[in-house]
Structures are given as structure tokens and as C-alpha cells.
Amino acid sequence: MAAVKIGPHTLSRGQIVPFRHSSKSAQQVQEAEDASVTVVGGGPARRFFSFKVKLPRAEALRLKDYVENSLRFRAETCQVTDGYGVTRTMRYWDDDVIVDLAAGDQASIDWLFREEVYA
């Protein structure tokens, strides 16, 4: 497996996976008297990815700083490469950036990203 990258940061470990393995559409369906169906609207699919990992504290805090100051939370997008080498344009999606500090030199992160899907 390839290393996970978030923006310019290559992580020492971790994985980014689909959040709940679900997709949702805003499509509306109209059914006519003859039972024919017309699909209206919808827009792009919303795809979310969960990033859960335990990292050395210094690495987690550098990543937190990147999300807060470079991405400015949801304001900017970044390139995220998962452990399979697939790169997606993503946006950090939570209102806050939480790093749980554990014993010793460890920290855990549980963050949500949204893939930018362009129509």
C-alpha cells in the first residue's frame, strides 16, 4: 500500500476510507400517468471520506496546523492520496479540528473530508 498524503503531508501511517460507504443524490423523480419516469435535477453526488489515525503528536499537530491555516477549514481544497494511490480533490468538512492527545508521544485524529465532484 502507498502512503496516505493530505496536501503536502505524507503521513507515517493511516488510511482514508469512504464514510459509511454511502452516496446520496438530490434527484427528484416525476412519474407520469402512463407510468413513465422522468428524473429531474440532482446535482453532483456528495462523497464523504473518514480519516482515522494514530500519529506521533508532532505530526498530528503539524497536520492540524495545515487544516486550520492553509486550508482554512473548509475554505480551500487539497489533494488527498489514499493508501491505494488514488488521488482525489477534497475539502476538510468539519467545523472544528480535534486532535486527541494520548499518553506518551501519540495523538489520534478522526476527521471528515468531502470529495469535490465537479459536474
Q: Are 117 and 47 in contact (CB under 8 A)?
A: yes
3 state DSSP class of 51: strand
pTM (2 d.p.): 0.75
pLDDT above 60 for 119: no
The pLDDT of 34-60, averaged and rounded, is 82
9 vs 3: which has the higher pLDDT: 9
For residue 23, what are the contacts with CB-CB under 8 A and spacing of at least 6? 45, 46, 47
3 vs 71: which has the higher pLDDT: 71
Candidates 9, 7, 18, 4; CA nearest to 114 is: 18
pLDDT tier, 29 (very low <50, low <70, confident <90, very high otherwise): confident
- pLDDT, residue 57, reads 92
The angle subtended at Cα 24 by Cα 27 and Cα 3, nearest 5°, is: 140
Give the separation between CA 99 and CA 106, rounded to whole angstroms. Answer: 10
Domains and CATH numbers, the chain: 5-19+47-115 (2.40.30)
